[in-house]
Amino acid sequence: MSRLGLFRSFALALASSLLLFLSGMALPLAGFLLIALAPQPILGFGIKNGKGRAMGLLALAVVLFMLFGGEELQWGYSLVALMVLLLFFSLGRGWPVEYVVATASGGMFVAVSGILLYSFGSLSSLWRDLDTMLRENIELSLKTYEKLGFSGEVTELLREQAPRITEMVVRIMPALLFAGFAIVTLLNLVMLYRRFPDQRSVIVSAGDLREWKAPEPLVWCFILSGLSLFLPAGWEAWKISALNLFLVSVVFYFFQGLAIVAYYFHHKNVPHFLRSLAYVLIFFEQVFTLFVVALGLFDLWGDFRRLKKKDLNPGGAS
pLDDT at position 263 over 90:
yes
Question: What pLDDT is attached to residue 4?
Answer: 82
Question: What pLDDT is attached to residue 69?
Answer: 81
pLDDT at position 32 over 90:
no
Residue 95: closest CA among 238, 206, 227, 241: 206
Question: What pLDDT is attached to residue 168?
Answer: 86
- pTM score of the predicted model: 0.84
Longest dimension (CA), the chain: 68
pLDDT at position 313 over 70:
no
User: Over the chain, what is the mean pLDDT?
Assistant: 87
User: Quick check: helix, strand or coil at residue 205?
Assistant: coil
Q: From CA 73, how far away is CA 78, in angstroms rounded?
A: 8
| Comparison of pLDDT for 28 and 95, the residue scoring more | 95
CA distances from 214 to 105, 220, 249, 258, 293 (A): 16, 12, 9, 12, 12
| Comparison of pLDDT for 144 and 205, the residue scoring more | 144
Q: 215-255: per-residue pLDDT in tens?
A: 889 999 999 999 998 888 888 888 999 999 999 999 999 99
In this structure, what is the dihedral angle of CA atoms 218, 219, 223, 225, given to the nearest 10 degrees? 10
Average the pLDDT over 136-141 and give the result. Answer: 80
Q: Are 39 and 191 in contact (CB under 8 A)?
A: no
Average the pLDDT over 79-93 and give the result. Answer: 91
Question: What pLDDT is attached to residue 143?
Answer: 78
Residue 58: closest CA among 36, 25, 84, 92: 84
